[in-house]
Structure 1
Amino acid sequence: MKKIHLVSTFYSLLLVTSSHEALAAKKAAPGSAQSGAHPKTAAVAQASAPGSHAARASGKPVGRNAARNIVASRAESFSVVGLHKSRSTSVVVGSDLIAKSVPGSNPLKVLAQMPGVMFQSDDPLGLDTWSNQFYMHGFFQDQIGMTLDGIPLGDQEFHSMNGLNSVAAITSENVSRMDATMSAGAEDTASTSNLGGAVAFHSSDPSHKMGAKIVQTFGSNDMFHTYFRGDSGDLNAAGSRFYVSYARNDTHKWKGGGNQFSQQVNAKFVQPVGESSSISAYFDWSDIELYNYQDMSFDMLKNGGYDIDNFIGTRNAYAKAYRSALSANALPGGSLPAGYEKMSDPWDASYYDGGTLSRDYLGGMNFHFLLTNRLSWDSVVYGHGQYMRGTWASPYMASPNGAPLIDQMTLQHSQRGGFTTALHYDIAHNHISTGIWYEGLHASVGRAAFQEPLLGEGAPVNSLGSLPAPFATLWGEQINSNSLTGFAEDTYSPLPNLALHFGFRSLLQTARAGDTQNLESYTGTSALASGSITTAKAFLPHISADWHFLKHHELFFDITENVKSYPLAAYKQGASPFALSQSTFNLLQKQGGLKPETDWNYAVGYRFSDTFAQASIYAYHTNFKNRLQQITSGTIVNPISTVANVGGVTMNGVDAGLTLTPIRGLSIYNSISYNHATYDNNLSEPGVVYQLKGQQIVSYPRLMYKNSLSYTWRDFDAHFDTSYVGTRNFSYTGDMKVPHYWVESLGARYHFGKTIQKVSPLKDLTFEFNVYNLTNVKYISTMGENGLPMTGDYQSFLVGAPRQYFGTIRAGF
């Protein structure tokens, strides 16, 4: 395996090549035209600089160097140089690059090719929402603002009430591009959590021509992915059009038993209004039904093995779970499966099952109106409803019929809705924008207990199917919130190659929780957290500048202050004040320990962009205050969990990237990232002081390296990708660490294109082959899904998938 890494690095450093898809400085950014605009308007819009709404509509160029901000290629080999806006660094990843991954893959996996970005999952496509984790320059997914066509996707944590996972919001084949904004993000992002950047997903527009697309993928573990999309084409002279798509993904788990299934419907309608305005509507329905992989500890990994998992789907599954539960409670007839006695906690190593079910409805409308040649108005209205259940069989509570285990489920119903509206005005050398965002949320969440049958007297509960009536409600909460943000910004261009940005945002969020049910014998507390919390910041400034000097060179800096509103999560579900008992909630409020997370971000960077080479270096410094973390111990079915303010964090980091493309068809990309993020303070609790000061933050490595080699020859292209993730702290004190690992992937595809059109009604036919984890390395991927310990071991990580093969056929009509 070391030889592969050395060869990859050697060629990446020495080969100086180019591609016929080389980056064109005059090419417009993908999707820079207003979404849904008429073809005539789009042609004008793409001729102007990004970020200027009036210029996009009128076709007035902002400056002769504006086009240099765009670096893209027809085949979209990943480049370290992306779209740069004066307000912050932004990398644009388009649909062609997404299409190189296995169909149905989480688009965030593609973004993980960027320097300083890490994506973790226990499945090769990144679809298991329980295990998905996304980091960008030391910021976790609940500290990054995410939107889809301007619709807020909210907090990306699994237990979040005010968010929607991106894989449930849109089918990956319908993503036209992603704009990843590092550092501070943008003040106009509709988010209360963007401490360290933003990711904006953009759905593709319906085609102007009637047609259809079919994608069929087969893979390891009986993986079966189907995607179908039909486009209406223009329905009238104005250009009204729509599409509807359906995607279905079904695969057996790569270890243990059970399957992972999802299906999704997307629809979009676009109505141009006049020459320069448009209205569009987007709808998403998602159904996710997953048997999850079992969470692991270091003890389980060492003494139980890499392939240990829950029992469901294996031989005598319920009997093994039943007898293990008897053993856990020291009851007659109890026994453990062979080899389990080696583990210190064999009863939590495998449950009967554990699963996730989520059904979501998301809808939104976008309005873009050019009011004058200088003034435009953009608004979004949206709504989201979710039903979700997280389930696992617990061996620590008996059913009323005497069975030694129950099926316990966390059930959630949530509804949220809101709007954004903004005005954009160009005058002299200024582009001025101002706007607001409002969202209201209501969520009801609780945990119910379902009776399991006596052994041999019926089938166990189907936790992903229809449910019987529960025999008990273990706890319940209701949470309501109202969020309001406002922003104002001005980008001033005193010279054609210089842009200065000044702006600020204001944030106000109020949230209230109420205890609706509490079984004290289960929760161990007399009352769950009830009360209200408020996050309020009236002035969060943002200053940046972008200077294009000489012909291929660019310098920029970015300074901002940000705040993250208090997380909204129920009892023991995250680092939220509402995840606590009433007594702890009251104590923290009294002591002043409940404070929202804030930070100051400072970033500076340099880019070189030419036909044959693109290079960048990006350095950043962040000062965090009031970092809230979930500290956990005990068993994962009913953990001992608390929320701690671990104080400040100081983070310094640097990325360096290089893309070489000097011979036709070949592109080589390398990046290396270093992040030094340490806790500023020790944590004191009654009778003990935990030595956190100077320790690297949990879950994020100090060092990452990425390499990609891609080659295109006529209608054939292939790519080889390597990723190195360094050692990560598992415990806050750093006494337990997750080892580093390398993972390689390989892909190839052939386009028949015009050839197939001559002999069939197909417009396009493509065959693809992909291999994930080429060297079949064993590694720990996701960590902290159940919280992380202050010190020592805990059952809270997931291992990555072994080598997986995928074959795909794409056809267009």
Structure 2
Amino acid sequence: MTIDFRYSCGAVLAIPALFLAPVAMAASEEEAAPDSIEVIGHPDPEGLLPDQTAPKAISAISADFIVKQAPTLNAFQLVNLLPGANVSTSDPFGLSTSSSLTLRGLGQDQIGVVMEGAPQNDIGYFVAYPSQFADAENVRQIALAQGSASIDAPVVAAAGGLLSLTLDDPKNDMGGLVNLSVGSYDERRAFLRFDTGTIGASGLKAFVSYSNNRADNWRGPGFDRRQHIDAKILREWGDGNRASIAFSYNDANTSSYPSPTLADWKALGRGFNRDSRYTAGNTNYWRLYRGPFRNFYVAAPIHLKLNDRLTFDSSAYLQLGHGNAPYGTQLSETGNYLGTEELAEPIALPGAVDGVATVMGNWTGKQFRIGDVSKLTFQAGAHTITAGLWFDYGTDRVTQSYTSIDDQGRPFDQWGYQDKAIRTADGRLLAYENARTETVTKGFFLADSIAVTPRLTVDVGFKGVNVLRNGRDYLPGPSSDLRSSSFAALPRAAVHYKLDDRQQLFANVTTNFRTPNEFALYNRYYGGQIITAGSADLKNEYSISEELGYRYIGPSLSFSLTAFHYHFRNRQVATVVNSGGALVNSTINGGSQTSYGLDGEIDYRPAKGMSVYLSGEYLHTRLDDDLPVGGDFLPTKGKRAVSSPRFQFAMGTTYDDGRLFGSTALKYVGRQYATFMNDESIKGYATLDLSVGVHLAGLIDAQRMDLRLNAINVTNPHVLSGVYSISSNAQDTPGRNGTVIAGSAPSYYVGSGRAFVVTLSRAF
């Protein structure tokens, strides 16, 4: 077959404009370019700005955008260009579990995440781990509601918004897809998917996929490995009825990148890493920081049309997970404690020298979670009434134990299983932390969407949520059984008005709450003494948010602008604390906070196959209270919130003429404070991604076949990209009552280095 040079010439003329454009991606995938281009309107409902009608801010990306990105990227990285999304990751390929997403200055423990209607956040700490989510090839859409979660979303902490992943449906016809990728740092990835097509007269159709990904650490020694399986079974019948069940299994062993303080960064830069070789007594050896984890997710959404006015929806889900976040430390044979109990007999430590041995500290977690959210929707004239119930039960078994290592620094057991862990002289598990937490969430919601006129809709709703935690501390001490229960009343209202077929106005008021994480329940011990007292009476965060927005949906130009305002009581700010050497998620109560700003995005499609996307955010935050520290108060009133850049911008272009395609992506994130006192911050920075590819369909046969090159962070700036752990103050600071409050150094994410990925994609 010959190649039509009209495609090649068109691409040659377009590529310079594509790469000189100062800006970020939107996606439009067309089958062929016309002989001539007439700008008469080019809708792009599957790019970076799909049409929306919800009475709230919401942005989305679809499969047509995702398919042009590096297939290794996780969900956080994929939404980086959307308004307000501030993403920090530890590696360019999205393999590490150490990553961060903030929206409007609100951390990922404030952002609900659902996949196929099932929650993905950790029930104990509320964070989500995007490297565990479904493979990008199986994702149909990722929607990001920046301001609030929908009333029926099974999430608790979602003041920052809701990230929703929708999996691709199985295909009607039998077929498959193979993606093979190689890249920088010995990156190697294979993805295979098989679709059954409709199976006989059953109406069932399904897909199953498997991926295997491996890459060396981009800085320092070590490597990451990830195996993943996704599957989905679907049955559709009648007038819109459908039932499906989706499975996602993840098996990974990834490295923990160290997070430098500002002093570390100035001294060593990207050289702040783990050690590549083990020497006696070394607790920084890279093999002591490889974390294995396995997860299994099941989601079973169902939609039934019971009659012309009544529908039923249910989303049942199940989660199982087990893994270890290990670290290097040293133990003595004597002078050890279990909680408040001093161990009279020495413990046996293989390889001890002068009574001290280097060991691997384990931070193991074993999670189980099951739940369901169901609702009935009834149409009665101008009213659409929704009523539903949510039930969620979860357990989290957390243990900090210790495992011996050999003379080469290799741990006897990377998983931290108790049968191979170090024990006391009388056979008990030697543990710094040993607890089980049971969390029961019950919720109900009632909403009414009222079509006042054909153009005006008013929504009102109420959601009540009760969160009960029962904790069991297995360490000797003053507390063993703990209980915490809280109820939140969450009213909301929204207005949507269509000015005409293209223009919309919307406004809403939403309430949200967040309980302290389970870490806050338990005492922390050192040397037999309580250094942090657990409490079951900590106050919940409660927030009220308002949005006022405008949308325009045109044939070649679409844009939206949203003004927002938040007020928080008992603002819970996520951080990472050192718990016996392990770094674990925790929160700080920052008191009251006020935030307001503007989000905007524009998608311009000047010609078929071409798209330009711009987004931006202005964010103003203010702490309304002084921060209590010890018996004094830090003068934080009037300071800006941590991890809340005042300005963010994203800009980009894509081009696709049916044969050649490419894109650029530029993201700028402004200065971010790392302390409540605003006495330490990191500078603003920008990243640039590029891609170029060719559609090969027609050269061999008619099946889809693409070859693409993705360049990630091509300018390779040496920057700190986000705040890993915050502190109250970096410098010694006088409190309101005259006490000098000692400073402590925050730590940061190191912006990932330049990486390239080449992918050959073939459908069959």
TM-score interval w.r.t. the shorter chain? 0.7 to 0.9
The 3-state SS of whatever aligns with 1:177 is: strand
Corresponding residue for residue 452 of structure 1: 405
The offset of 1:290, in angstroms, is: 0.5
Change (3 A) 1:20 1:422: closer
Residues 522 and 533 in structure 2, CA contact (< 8 A), matched pair in contact too: no
Alignment of 1:290-369 (within 5 A): 290-311=254-275, 314=276, 317-319=277-279, 322-324=280-282, 353-369=288-304
> Structure 1 or 2: larger strand share?
2
Tell me how far 1:551 sits from its aligned partner.
4.3
| 2:427 is the counterpart of 1:477 | no
The aligned counterpart of 2:651 is 707
Q: Indicate the SS of the match to 1:306.
A: helix
Q: Is the 8 A contact 2:362 2:416 kept in 1?
A: no
Q: 450, 461, 486: which one pairs with 1:535? A: 486
Query: Could you tell me how far 1:701 is from its partner in structure 2?
Result: 1.0
* 1:777 matches 2:723: no
1:523-563 CA deviation, whole Å, 9 max, x = no partner? xxx557751111202x3111111111134321111101111
Q: 1:93 to 1:468 in 2, by over 3 A?
A: same
State the partner residue of 1:463.
414
* Preserved CA contact (<8 Å) 2:401 2:422: yes
User: C-alpha displacement at 1:165, in angstroms?
Assistant: 2.8
> Which residue of 197, 200, 203 maps to 1:233?
197
Distance 1:216 1:477 in 2: 43
Q: In structure 1, what is the Cα distance between the partners aligned to 2:29 and 2:699?
A: 21
Query: Of 99, 107, 113, which residue of structure 1 is paired with 2:81?
Result: 113
**Are the counterparts in 2 of residues 289 and 355 from structure 1 also a CA contact under 8 Å?**
yes
Quote how far apart the aligned CAs of 1:781 are.
Answer: 2.2
Could you tell me the percent identity over the aligned residues? 21
Contact preservation (8 Å) 1:230, 1:244: yes
The CA deviation string for residues 485-541 of structure 1, in whole angstroms up to 9 with x for no partner, is 1111111112222221111111001001111135xxxxxxx557751111202x311
Match of 2:388 among 422, 426, 435: 435
Q: State how 1:633-782 maps to structure 2 within 5 Å.
A: 637=581, 644-686=588-630, 688-757=632-701, 763-782=703-722
* Cα pair 2:125 2:517 within 8 Å, conserved: no
Comparing 427-436 with 395-404, greater Cα deviation is found at 395-404
Distance 1:323 1:182, change over 3 A: closer
Q: Residue in 2 aligned with 1:40?
A: none
Distance in 2 of aligned mates of 1:733 and 1:500: 42
Out of 423, 446, 451, the position equivalent to 1:488 is: 446
2:305 pairs with 1:370: yes
Three-state SS of the structure 2 residue aligned to 1:78 is: coil
Residues 353 and 527 of structure 1, relative CA distance in 2, 3 Å threshold: farther
> What CA distance in whole angstroms lies between the structure 1 residues aligned with 2:582 and 2:322?
22
* Structure-2 residue corresponding to 1:270: 234
1:601 equivalent in alignment to 2:545: yes
- 1:790 matched residue in structure 2: 729
Cα contact 1:226–1:248 (8 A) shared by 2: yes
- Aligned counterpart in structure 1 of residue 144 of structure 2, from 176, 180, 195: 180
Q: Deviations over 1:13-69 (max 9, x none)?
A: 9x9x998969xxxxxxxxxxxxxxxxxxxxxxxxxxxxxxxxxxxxxxxxxxxxxxx
C-alpha separation in 2, matches of 1:389 and 1:686: 33
Task: Tell me the distance in 2 between the aligned counterparts of 1:516 and 1:662.
Answer: 65
**Aligned-pair CA distance for 1:425:** 1.3
CA distance in 2, matches of 1:418, 1:225: 34
How far residue 229 of structure 1 moved from its aligned partner, in angstroms, is 0.5
Q: Return the alpha-carbon distance in structure 2 between the equivalents of residues 631 and 381 of structure 1.
A: 31
User: CA separation in 2, counterparts of 1:753 and 1:480?
Assistant: 53
Measure the CA separation in 2 of the matches of 1:154 and 1:717: 36
Q: Rate the CA distance shift 1:179–1:460 in 2: closer, same or farther, 3 A.
A: closer
Tell me, yes or no, if the aligned pair for 1:82 and 1:90 is still in contact at 8 Å: no
| 1:204 shift after superposition | 1.0
RMSD between superposed Cα atoms in Å: 3.0
Contact 1:184 1:558 in 2 (8 A): no
Q: Distance in 2 between matches of 1:666 and 1:360?
A: 40
1:615 partner letter:
F
Q: Distance in 1 between matches of 2:127 and 2:27?
A: 42
AA at the equivalent of 1:84:
T
CA contact (8 A) 2:671 2:684 kept: yes
Q: Provide the C-alpha distance between the structure 1 equivalents of 2:272 and 2:450, rounded to a whole number of angstroms.
A: 59
One-letter identity of the residue aligned with 1:546 = H
Name the CA shift for 1:165/1:561 in 2 (closer, same or farther; >3 Å). same
State the 1:780 CA deviation: 1.1
* Structure with more relative contact order (C-alpha pairs < 8 Å, separation 6 or more): 2
**Distance in 2 separating the partners of 1:459 and 1:410:** 17
Among candidates 33, 41, 48, match of residue 78 of structure 1: 48
Q: Which residue of 2 aligns with 1:622?
A: 566
Residue segments in structure 1 that go unaligned for 5+ positions in a row: 1-6, 23-70, 326-347, 519-525, 570-575
Cα pair 1:278 1:369 within 8 Å, conserved = yes
Question: Deviation per CA, 1:72-126, whole angstroms, max 9, x where unpaired?
Answer: 626x4423x642313x232232111111210131022121211111111011132
Secondary structure of 1:417 counterpart: strand
- Is the CA contact 1:12–1:669 (under 8 Å) kept in the aligned structure 2? no
Pick from 457, 472, 483 the counterpart of residue 499 of structure 1.
457
Report the 3-state secondary structure (helix = DSSP H, G, I; strand = E; otherwise coil) of the residue aligned with 2:546.
Answer: strand
Residue 549 of structure 1 pairs with residue 538 of structure 2? no
Structure 1 counterpart of 2:760: 809
Output the CA distance in 2 between the equivalents of 1:90 and 1:405.
50
Higher-helix-fraction structure? 1
Residue-by-residue CA offset, 1:688-716 (whole Å, 9 max, x unaligned): 43122122211221111111111222322
Paired with 1:642 and 1:489, the residues of 2 have a C-alpha distance of 34
Q: Which residue of 2 aligns with 1:100?
A: 68
Matches within 5 A, 1:150-169: 150-155=117-122, 160=124, 165-169=129-133
Instruction: Give the equivalent residue in structure 2 for 1:283.
Output: 247
- CA distance 1:678–1:277, shift in 2 (3 Å): same
Q: Would you say how many aligned residue pairs link Structure 1 and Structure 2?
A: 697
Match of 2:475 among 517, 535, 539: 517
CA contact (8 A) 2:403 2:413 kept: no
Distance 1:657 1:161, change over 3 A: closer
* SS class of match (1:89): coil
Give the counterpart letter for 1:470 in structure 2. I
The CA deviation at 1:464 is 5.7
TM-score when normalising by structure 1: 0.80
Aligned counterpart, 2:321: 386
CA distance in 1, matches of 2:114, 2:27: 35
Deviation at 1:661, TM superposition (A): 2.0
Distance 1:162 1:181, change over 3 A: closer
Alpha-carbon shift at residue 565 of structure 1 (Å): 2.9
**Cα distance change, pair 359–545 in 1 and its aligned pair in 2 (3 A):** same
* Counterparts in 2 of 1:711 and 1:529: CA distance versus 1, 3 Å: farther
Q: Deviations over 1:383-419 (max 9, x none)?
A: 1111111101114657454154211011111211111
- The whole-number CA distance in structure 2 between the counterparts of 1:257 and 1:811 is 34
2:378 match: secondary structure? strand
1:473 alignment partner, SS class: coil
The Cα offsets for residues 220-266 of structure 1, whole Å up to 9 and x where unpaired, read as 00001111000000112352111111011100001111111111111
From the superposition, tell whether residues 286 and 19 of structure 1 become closer, same or farther in structure 2 (CA, over 3 Å): closer
Task: Quote the residue 2:90 is aligned against.
Answer: 122
CA gap of 1:494–1:376, structure 2 versus 1, over 3 A, is same
- C-alpha distance after superposition, 1:319-370 (max 9, x if no partner): 1xx2556xxxxxxxxxxxxxxxxxxxxxx7x766312211112223222211
CA separation in 1, counterparts of 2:585 and 2:109?
19
Q: Which amino acid aligns with 1:541?
A: P
Partner-residue secondary structure (3-state), 1:363: strand
CA contact (8 A) 1:120 1:126 kept: no
Unmatched 5+ residue regions in structure 2? 1-16, 32-41, 334-348, 424-429, 732-743
Amino acid corresponding to residue 804 of structure 1 in structure 2: A
Cα 1:122–1:417 change in 2 (3 A) is same
